[in-house]
Structure 1
Amino acid sequence: MATEPEPQGPARLPLGPPAQGGRRPAARGTGLAAGRIVAPTAVQAVPGLPVRTGDSTPEWLEPAMAANGIGSFDWDIRRDLIEADQRACAIIGVAGGRLDRSAESFLTLLHPEDAPVVRRRVERAVAELGQCGAYYRTVFPGGELHAVRFRGRVLADAFGRPSRMVGFVWDATAELHKREDADRQAALREERSRFIKEAARALSEAVTVRDVARVFTELPLPGLPPDGLVLAALETGRLKILGASGYRHEDVTVYDRAPLEPFQPAAEAVRRRVPVFLSSREEYRERFPQAWTRAATTGRSAWAFLPLVASGRAIGLCVVSFDEARELDTDERTLLSTLGGLVAQSLARARLHDAEHELAAGLQRVMLPRTVPAVPGVTTAVRYLPAGSGLQIGGDWYDVVPLPGGHVGLVIGDVQGHDVHAAGIMGQLRIALRAYAAEGHPPAAVMARASRFLADLDTDHFATCTYAEVNVDYGVVYAVRAGHLDPVVRRTDGSSCVQSVVGGLPLGVSADQSYQVTRFSLDPGDTLVLCTDGLVESRRMDLDTGMGRLCTVVSGELPPRREGALDPLEELADRIAAGAADSSEREDDIALLLLRWDGPEGGLAAQQLRRRIGQADLARVAELRGELRDALRRWGVAELIDTAELLASELVTNAIRHTDRDAMFTARLYREDGREPRLRIEVEDESDLWPKRRTPGEQASSGRGLMLVEALADAWGVEPRGTGKRMWFELTAGEAG
């Protein structure tokens, strides 16, 4: 006969409800029908755990069974009657010491999950005239759960039909508990292994010290959930609390930045670099009496002080505490020690990262302007976004420089490289360029001098840069570009476009490089956007696509300016910065500079234009004509542009040709009640020679200046000054043309 293999315990048996009793169908021969054992008689045999009475137990076997707590059973299959001895009844949990019932009623004594398993095994043994055995659980009358193991054999009658099953039962509760404990320990070990893996992953992703503290204080320790966690760093003999959970604030603050005194358990753990475990309040008080007074107020009853050791030195401490007294076993202590090692490595790495970041941030703060000066008539906003890798420092910079005459200079640049050397060069170049601009040099000269300065440094670095001088009076921009990006202009209607600026070589490439100036105008409320290439270019995005995206971000509606609310220009700067790549993916640092030309109230430009014309600076005359055109258009007297430009050119040219000193040009628009606007243009010089009106010949190339002034101006004249003279003319807007 085949013997059924030993079961592995109820926890591994398939589950299912026991079969319910009911009408027993007639049987034919021996076999299985409808999942029940069919006896050779008309009585159906229901599978179950049979037991037998002690009256058939041989006398020589009884002492051995009694000594080992083994009971016997006897199941009469034909009559479906189970009998058991007293020991079997005690093991099964039947009161009264007597069992005399059917198999179906006996199955009701079993745990609902185990009854189907026992039924299937008994059915198979009956069908095969073989043996069977299993673990099963029974619930005693008092509610306790016990485990029983049985082994039985089916006996046949003279005709080879199953007649009886006889066997033994014995208590397996201890064995079951042992198995359950083993399974529980195996599950706990697996859970701890999984916890170590998850903790290692979480701590490896922690970048800053704050991240490490957050991860540590949120760790769910398996099998020993702590009631309190503290993470502290060791700094010059003091503990700096980085994070804590499960403690009142006042219980933690008393230790924050307090000296690590030698009588404390934390000091012993740090000094010896081995964990200190205290399983009870009594042990704490006995081993560290001087420290107990303060520790007693926390309400804890067990502690683990774990030193954080990295590179052979203690850098901090973890404290794990419990409300109840607890003796940690070897596995628990190993788990905590392993956790301490993971936290130590992560904390050391995070402290290094924070130190590097603070160094980079401090250096960048020194290199960049601390504040942007306020200039009447314009509003500025700046942003600096470090790269997402390395020291997070680079050569990008911005600057706003107040200039003589109420102008303002804007600088945006990027020194080649992404390291401390590039940042140092950037600082030197920023200061030099600011000095050149503040001296009053025109934009082209400022850029040429800056290029020569960088070339003379002999650093093998170059820099791209855009410098723009903004005339605050009437919104004209004079821009110079040295290998940098074109600026973007946002108009008051929400549209935006790239403003083309004539470019030159980057700074430092050639000491003799010259640059051209591009002139364009802003309307009141227009915004000039300057940025470095980190905002619009990356390995995944080309420059044209990036500039298009920038224009899209710059465009659109902005909230109106309201008192007490954030300026719309700041919101626009935030919008542009938010459109940049995430800091973890950003490959280059980004400098961003925005300027909005506000103009005077009412949206009209200031109605006075005053410029000095250098005696040898003939190119300035052409620039002056352009400034005058813009000024008259913004003042609302565009009909005077052609005449005023022609006559102003004559007076300025006459002043610089016939003197050896600079000339001062002034244009003013007067608005008087009830009268048309009147434009007065004056040119002052230091010559005592007065102009003479004369009629030139047909072949003469000069001498017509005063004739034009006299013919086209509404009024003109020459006025003496202390030294020199002032020539002037006036035009009335309503009478022009």
Structure 2
Amino acid sequence: MATEPEPPGPVRHIPPAQATRSIAAAQPLRAASGAAVGRIGTAVSRGLPTRTGDSTPDWLEPAMAANGIGSFDWDIRHDVLEADPRACAILGLALDRYDRSSAAFLAMLHPEDAPVVRRRVERAVTELGQCGAYYRTVFPSGELHAVRFRGRVLADAFGRPSRMVGFVWDATVELHKRERAGELAALREERSRFIKEAARALAEAVTVRDVARVFTELPLPGLPPDGLVLASMEAGRLAILGASGYRDEDVAFYDRSPLAPAHPLAEAVRNRTPVFIASGAEYQERYPEAWDWARGTGRSAWAFLPLVASGRAIGVCVVSFDDDRELDTDERTLLSTLGGLVAQSLARARLHDAEHELAAGLQRVMLPRTVPAVPGVTTAVRYLAAGSGLQIGGDWYDVVPLPGGHVGLVIGDVQGHDVHAAGIMGQLRIALRAYAAEGHPPAAVMARASRFLADLDTDHFATCTYAEVNVDYGVVYAVRAGHLDPVVRRADGSAALVPVAGGLPLGISPDEEYRVTRFSLDPGETVVLCTDGLVEARGMDLDTGFERLCRAISGRLPGVDEAAREPLEDLADRIASQAADSNEREDDIALLLLRWDGPAGGLAAQQLRRRIGQADLARIAELRGELRDALRRWGVPDLIDTAELLSSELVTNAIRHTDRDAMFTARLYREPDSGARLRVEVEDESDLWPTRRTPGEQASSGRGLMLVEALADGWGVEPRGSGKRMWFELSVDAQVVGGPSA
């Protein structure tokens, strides 16, 4: 016997001609000669209904009527279908005027079900067997019904198929049950998907504001609410965190107000169980004292869900509807589950916000609240906490006013990213600031800070760069302890890394000695100091980070004609914006910018000043390169070759004939209407004065002073308290003098 198919899909119209062609296949013996049909008493005795005379037994009819079963008889040879009144009603046929052909019957079936019925009938006719099917039929009124039938094919005296007799009964109730079951299954799947999505969204919510936003935007499946409110409990008062679907005045009524004992919110919090109210009448009956406010909101059904975390009620959320709503068990379970998810997320977010506020407050205390203003320079600072974890660490910056009008710049990073590192940073910052304010030179300041950190015995080290800026001349004396080199933005808008001699990080070697690197700034040029969080990250090495930093520094803002005069705060924002939006940043960022504006009262003489160590002959080559860059930036490139040659002679002479360091100074003086004058001085501590000689053709030395005398516009030797100063001057006409490169 054939198995029964599942209920087919939606109704589609099928042309009657197509149905007629389909049923024709079920009549292979229709053209055979007519033969007498055997009596069907045997069929009746087997319980099969017939339409020949009064052949239905008396005991069978009441049973069929009680169970809503009709009978049919299909004459296969003549294609005539007979049915009793009950079967006609089940099939949707008019008893006195229906077309008795099988084609007309198939035309009534659902287009997807007709082929199934046809195949099963064909097989039963061929095999002289039984068949059954479940199919849908469309009544003339357009209603969709479901029918089940069971039939048997009877053979004539010659063994040929003659009739099919059987039963038919209505299965529409079963169809509706299946449809309802499908709808419920789809709804359960949608609710399960909603819970997963809500859990994911709430898990990603970091702050309390994020939790409120996620909750008020949740699309509840099957029961879209008309109003949502999320509130937390703080000292017995409600704090509204977020709401949707309510007027501002309705929500403000409860914000920061004590929770009334007779309110459903209070009951939900007190008992830690949800409170469901299906109608306004129920609300008024159960909570008459709170009804006045509820009536003004225009809602008719509510669900008050307590938010319980770690056994403590931390808040409540309200889901409301405009119409009466009796929530079923599944809907109440869904809302209760949602309340649990919101509670856990809110508890986590409140802890995060508290930690963030604590960290931010501690960081504000550790870092200087304001940067002191120093005449002649402009400063800007930024601090960006790491994108994850406790937002406090060991990065710091400081600006220290020094004796004589100078200013000290400090940037540093203590090992670690926790409260311990922040505490060490605070102690180290204060100590280093005190050493600098006492007037110690940069190398001594760094050495004392290293000994101080080592004496703390914290098992932590720190990297640091300290720079002292001579505000009168724009000269920078920098010391580096395992930290990054500074970046300088020149007056022409370009930016480059300035190499600074480095030593070990602070706290590693108490006896470490640090070397000082000296470089000069022109008015309008900017020194940029930062910690490694800005230029180094996962997926970005240090070289790439510095290249990106230099591009950001050297870029120009729209509408700014001179990059050197771009507001320093705007430049700091532009640099910080590269890393500000990164949620995956693992390190803090400290950023310090200083622009030398020049001394009060006008443009200072442009100056390059360097100390040349007695044994540091390689420094002479570095000095020549710095002098070339300085003259180019000062707008007198025509003096480069001569100044480089004569400076080398004076410095080499001082190094060779003394046993002490030499100090090299180059200054450019701009004189109105007469061009510019370059003065180069080399100081040493030797009392031995140079002697002008006339060397022979084979002599390997003795020509230095001859070159100076021949090429310089003026030169000389001046005594000092200890030692002497040799100098020369070069002049250039006003026609060939350019301003500082811009």
TM-score bin, normalised by smaller chain: 0.7 to 0.9
- Tell me by how many angstroms 1:629 deviates: 12
**Which structure 2 residues correspond to residues 83-482 of structure 1 after superposition, within 5 A?**
83-95=82-94, 99-482=98-481
Aligned-pair distance for 1:195? 2.3
Aligned counterparts of 2:585 and 2:678: Cα–Cα separation in 1: 54
SS in 1 for 2:190: helix
Counterparts of 2:132 and 2:7 in 1: how far apart (Å)?
A: 11
Superposition deviation, residue 313 in structure 1 = 0.4
Q: Distance in 1 between matches of 2:442 and 2:68?
A: 107
Rate the CA distance shift 1:389–1:275 in 2: closer, same or farther, 3 A: same
Deviation at 1:221, TM superposition (A): 2.0
How large is the RMSD of aligned CA atoms in angstroms?
4.6
Residue type of the partner of 2:27?
Answer: V
Q: Distance in 1 between matches of 2:167 and 2:273?
A: 55
Aligned pair 1:594/2:589, yes or no?
no
What SS does the aligned partner of 2:478 have?
strand
Q: How far apart are 1:382 and its partner, in Å?
A: 2.7
Q: Distance in 2 between matches of 1:281 and 1:8?
A: 44
1:21 aligns to 2:10 (yes or no)? no
Determine whether 1:36 maps to 2:25.
yes
**What is the aligned length?**
657
The CA deviation at 1:279 is 0.8
Cα distance in 2 for residues equivalent to 1:732 and 1:188: 91
Structure 2 SS opposite 1:258: coil
CA offset at residue 404 of structure 1?
4.1
Q: CA deviation at 1:294?
A: 0.3
Structure 1 position 338, deviation (Å): 1.4
Shift of 1:75: 1.7
Counterparts of 2:600 and 2:117 in 1: how far apart (Å)?
97
Residues 676 and 734 in structure 1, CA contact (< 8 A), matched pair in contact too: yes
1:163-204 residue CA offsets vs partner (Å, 9 max, x unmatched) = 222212222222222222223223322332232222222222
2:683 aligned residue: none
User: Does residue 537 of structure 1 match 2:533?
Assistant: no
Task: Write out aligned runs for 1:557-568 (5 A).
Answer: 557-559=556-558, 561=560, 567=566
Worse-matched range after superposition: 324-333 or 191-200: 191-200
Aligned to 1:351, what secondary structure does the other structure show? Answer: helix
2 CA distance for matches of 1:431 and 1:353?
A: 30
The Cα of 1:423 is off from its aligned counterpart by 0.6
Distance (whole Å) between structure 2 residues aligned to residue 292 and residue 158 of structure 1: 85
Q: CA deviation at 1:310?
A: 0.6
What secondary structure sits across from 2:483 in the alignment?
coil
Contact 2:4 2:134 in 1 (8 A): no
TM-score (norm 2): 0.77
Alpha-carbon distance, 1:316 to partner: 0.8
What SS is found at the alignment partner of 2:17? coil
What displacement does 1:464 show?
A: 0.9
Cα 1:446/1:220, change in 2 over 3 Å = same
CA distance in 2, matches of 1:517, 1:379: 23
Partner of 2:526: 527
Q: 1: distance between equivalents of 2:377 and 2:25?
A: 97
Distance verdict in 2 for CA 1:221–1:378, change over 3 Å? same
SS of the residue aligned with 1:21? helix
Once the two structures are TM-superposed, the CA of residue 84 in structure 1 deviates from its matched residue by: 1.7
Partner of 1:46: none
Q: Following superposition of structure 1 onto structure 2, how do residues 55-70 of structure 1 map, counting pairs within 5 Å?
A: 56-70=55-69
Asked whether the 8 Å contact 1:18–1:107 carries over to 2, the reply is no
Deviation at 1:583, TM superposition (A): 3.8
SS at match of 1:534: coil
SS in 1 for 2:506: coil
Match of 2:40 in 1: none
> Which SS does the other structure have where 1:259 is aligned?
coil
What is the CA–CA distance in structure 2 between the aligned matches of 1:548 and 1:252, rounded to whole Å?
Answer: 52
- Counterpart in the other structure of 2:702: none
Structure-2 separation of matches of 1:730 and 1:285: 102
Q: For residues 384 and 294 of structure 2, what CA distance do their matches in structure 1 show?
A: 46
Shift of 1:103: 1.7
Inter-partner Cα distance in structure 1 for 2:238 and 2:543: 54
- The aligned amino acid for 1:213 is A
- Of residues 226-235 and 96-105 in structure 1, the stretch that sits farther from structure 2 once superposed is 96-105
Asked if 1:7 corresponds to 2:39, the answer is no
Give, in whole Å, the separation in 2 of the partners of 1:336 and 1:411: 56
Secondary structure, aligned partner of 1:535: coil
1:388 counterpart SS class:
coil
Kindly state the Cα deviation for residue 599 of structure 1 after the two structures are TM-superposed. 4.1
Question: Structure 1 residues 696, 278: closer, same or farther in 2, change over 3 A?
Answer: closer
**What code does the residue aligned with 1:21 have?**
A
How far, CA to CA, are the matches of 1:645 and 1:172 in structure 2? Answer: 111
Report what 1:498 is aligned to. 497
Residue type of the partner of 1:389? S
CA contact (8 A) 1:233 1:317 kept: yes
* C-alpha spacing 1:527/1:607, structure 2 compared with 1 (3 Å): closer
Task: Report the Cα distance in structure 1 between the residues aligned to 2:715 and 2:582, rounded to whole angstroms.
Answer: 63
Secondary structure of the corresponding residue to residue 533 of structure 2: helix
Q: Which stretch shows the higher mean deviation, 525-534 or 581-590?
A: 581-590
Q: Kindly indicate whether the alpha-carbon contact (under 8 Å) linking 1:89 and 1:97 is maintained by their aligned counterparts in 2.
A: no
Note closer, same or farther for the CA distance 1:126–1:202 as it changes in structure 2 (3 Å cut): farther
C-alpha deviation, 1:567, in angstroms: 4.5
Q: State whether residues 52 and 85 of structure 1, in contact with CA within 8 Å, keep that contact through their aligned partners in structure 2.
A: no
Residue of structure 2 in register with 1:692 after alignment: none
The residue matched to 1:533 in structure 2 has which SS?
A: coil
Q: How does 1:665-704 map to 2 (within 5 A)?
A: 671=671
Whole-Å Cα distance in 2 between the matches of residues 680 and 535 of structure 1? 41
Flag the 1:383–1:61 CA change in 2: closer, same or farther, 3 A: same
Change (3 A) 1:383 1:63: same
Tell me the equivalent position of 2:487.
488
Distance 2:194 2:632 in 1: 74
- Give CA-to-partner distance per residue, 1:234-286, whole Å, 9 cap, x none: 11111111222222222222222221111110000000101111111111000
Note the 1:650-669 alignment, pairs <5 A: none
Instruction: Rate the CA distance shift 1:630–1:597 in 2: closer, same or farther, 3 A.
Output: farther
- SS state at 1:497 partner: strand
Provide the residue aligned with 2:723 in structure 1.
none
Q: Within 2, Cα distance between the matches of 1:137 and 1:327? A: 34
How far does residue 544 in structure 1 lie from its aligned partner after superposition? 4.1
**Once the two structures are superposed, what CA deviation does each residue of 1:38-62 show, in whole Å capped at 9, x if it has no partner?**
331249xxxxxx9975955333322
Q: Offset of 1:379 from its aligned partner? A: 3.8
SS at match of 2:122: helix
CA distance in 1, matches of 2:479, 2:15: 94
Rounded Cα–Cα distance in structure 1 between residues aligned with 2:671 and 2:494:
33
Looking at structure 2, the residues matched to 184 and 560 of structure 1 have their Cα atoms a distance apart, in angstroms, of 63
Structure 2 CA distance, aligned partners of 1:734 and 1:582? Answer: 52
Residue deviations 1:611-640 (CA, integer Å, cap 9, x gap): 9xxxxxxxxxx9xx9999999998879899
Distance 1:171 1:270 in 2: 53
1:144/1:41 CA distance change after superposition, 3 Å = closer
Distance 1:459 1:734, change over 3 A: same
Contact residue 400 and residue 409 of structure 1 kept, 8 A:
yes
Contact 1:356 1:391 in 2 (8 A): yes
SS, match of residue 244 in structure 1: strand
Q: Alpha carbons of 1:52 and 1:405: their partners in 2 closer, same or farther (altered >3 Å)?
A: farther
Secondary structure, in 3 states, of the residue corresponding to 2:199?
Answer: helix
Gap regions ≥5 residues in structure 1: 26-32, 44-49, 612-621, 650-664, 682-694, 699-707, 718-728
Where does structure 2 lack aligned partners over 5 or more consecutive residues?
A: 33-47, 610-619, 652-664, 681-688, 693-708, 720-726, 734-742
**Contact between 2:202 and 2:345, CA under 8 Å: does it hold in 1?**
yes
Is the CA contact (8 Å cut-off) linking 1:397 and 1:414 kept in structure 2? Answer: yes
